[in-house]
Amino acid sequence: LGWSTDHVLLPAFDEGATTAGLVIAVLALFVGVAILRAVGIVARRLGAGVMQYRMQAAYRREVTAQYLRLPMAWHQRHPTGQLLSNANSDVEAAWAPIAPLPMAVGTIAMLVIAVVQMLLVDLTMAGVGLLVFPLVTVATLVYQHLSSPLFTQIQALRAELSEVAHESFDGAMVVKTLGRESEETARFAEKANQLRDLGIRVGRIRAMFDPILEAIPSLGVLGVLGVGVWQVDQGNAGAGDVVTIAYLLTIVAFPIRSIGWLFGEFPRSVVGFRRVHRVLDEKVTTEYGDAHLAPSAAGARLEVEDLGFSYDPDRHLLQDLSFVVEPGSTVAVVGETASGKSTLTTLLTRLVDPLAGRVLVDGTDLRDLAPGQLAGHAALVPQSAFLFDDTVRGNVTLGEDVADEDVW
């Protein structure tokens, strides 16, 4: 651009000395550069979108697989809404910076080249132009300091909102039977309003950050033009040098904005990433052996030896419980409310492990069985029915390849 100014534009104004071929060549050069930039932007954005959604899908699969590996006791300590939020909004937040990342990385080379060219053209004007970098850094740090705590609260509130919605929908019969519709609506509205207010606060901070980020490079260009006019007047630089540095600073403005957008996504992303990895970093405490159970048409022998379990370390729920259930027999477990009947069924199917004693099926401790062995010989049928979002056949077979005559 500077060469075109000195050799095409200024001679045309001063002397009328230019040729049509030279003008066409300059225009073709500008059009070619513009086309290359457009192609690069499209390619970067397409690649960023594909990468972002693939990473989100991969992390959702990892979180879901981790949920299935973790024991029932872990699930009982974490609300369903929080688990839904970890697999959905937290994963989205964790990988949100992927969208501007390739563009930010791709523009670093352009940034370095532009800065080097500015320094080669004129050190004084380049120094004025480069003042934009510390200003952008300060603005970004202030934004992160103000917004990061708010994003932490927002992600936590999203989990709480999901939990309230899940409880209301899952317990719709109880809510309607007891006439609690208005109370549940008010509870949901309270969380929604809190989330709205936090979002507005973040929006206000972002509304100040984005214009500042846009204005800083423009102020740098004005500063360069002011110093450049003085340099030309003093005979220390040419008009082409001023145009070159001003244009280079305009080019640098885009990388600065893209890097600023990336930094703008970081606070929310860091919060989501931490929440997701709290799940992924949980240690799976359920251990398995390699024993197998032999199939038997008569059923299995169940033996419970000195079984003990408690939710509260200071209060035993089950203690020194022993009994035997022979193959083919039926046993009823009767007791008062909260006496441990449901807990016993979860112990017999190894949804949780006992704190003392052991449970044996055909003489084999449940903890010595290989993964999947117990599920092929024992099943827990809870009081509340649950249907997967599938056909009747799919709910009966649970995904197994079973012939129709065996199903119906």
Instruction: Answer with the residue of higher pLDDT: 294 or 358.
Output: 358
Length of the chain: 408
Looking at residue 10, what is its pLDDT? 60
Q: Going along 296-399, which residue ranges are E strands? A: 302-309, 318-325, 356-361, 364-365
**Could you tell me if residue 287 is inside a domain?**
no
Looking at residue 125, what is its pLDDT? 78
- Span 176-207, pLDDT tens digits: 887 888 888 888 899 899 999 999 998 898 88
Domain range enclosing 129: 2-280
Looking at the fold, whether 321 and 215 belong to one and the same domain comes out as: no
What average pLDDT does this structure show over 368-372? 86
DSSP, res 373: T
Q: For residues 358 and 367, give the distance between their C-alpha atoms in angstroms, rounded to a whole number.
A: 9
What Å distances lie between residue 188 and 12, 140, 200, CA to CA?
70, 35, 18
Looking at the fold, whether 233 and 86 belong to one and the same domain comes out as: yes
Looking at the fold, whether 339 and 250 belong to one and the same domain comes out as: no
What average pLDDT does this structure show over 359-374? 87
Looking at residue 301, what is its pLDDT? 87
Query: Helix (H, G, I), strand (E, B), or coil: what is residue 53?
Result: helix
Residue 74 has pLDDT above 90, yes or no: no
| CATH number, residue 313 | 3.40.50.300
When pLDDT is cut at 50, 70 and 90, the band that residue 61 belongs to is: very high
What Å distances lie between residue 406 and 70, 262, 393, 397, CA to CA?
33, 57, 11, 10
Q: For residues 209 and 142, give the distance between their C-alpha atoms in angstroms, rounded to a whole number.
A: 9
Q: Are 41 and 107 in contact (CB under 8 A)?
A: no
Looking at the fold, whether 149 and 43 belong to one and the same domain comes out as: yes
Q: For residues 78 and 163, give the distance between their C-alpha atoms in angstroms, rounded to a whole number.
A: 10
**Of 311, 306, 310, 295, nearest in space to 360 by CA:** 306
- Span 1-52, pLDDT tens digits: 555 555 556 666 566 555 666 667 767 777 887 788 778 778 777 877 888 8
Looking at the fold, whether 97 and 242 belong to one and the same domain comes out as: yes
Looking at residue 34, what is its pLDDT? 79
What average pLDDT does this structure show over 290-305? 84
Looking at residue 18, what is its pLDDT? 58
- The structure tokens listed for 405 are 């005559």
Report the number of distinct structural domains present in the chain: 2
Looking at the fold, whether 124 and 246 belong to one and the same domain comes out as: yes
Share of residues in the chain with pLDDT > 90 (%): 6
Q: For residues 332 and 311, give the distance between their C-alpha atoms in angstroms, rounded to a whole number.
A: 24
**Could you tell me if residue 286 is inside a domain?**
no
Looking at the fold, whether 307 and 271 belong to one and the same domain comes out as: no
Query: Helix (H, G, I), strand (E, B), or coil: what is residue 152?
Result: helix
Looking at residue 17, what is its pLDDT? 55
- What is the strand order of the sheet 364-365 is part of? 318-325, 302-309, 356-361, 364-365
Q: Which residues contact 241 (CB under 8 A, 6 or more apart)?
A: 2, 121, 122, 125, 228, 231, 232
**Of 360, 380, 348, 365, nearest in space to 287 by CA:** 365
Looking at the fold, whether 16 and 104 belong to one and the same domain comes out as: yes
Q: Which residues contact 199 (CB under 8 A, 6 or more apart)?
A: 154
**Could you tell me if residue 294 is inside a domain?**
no
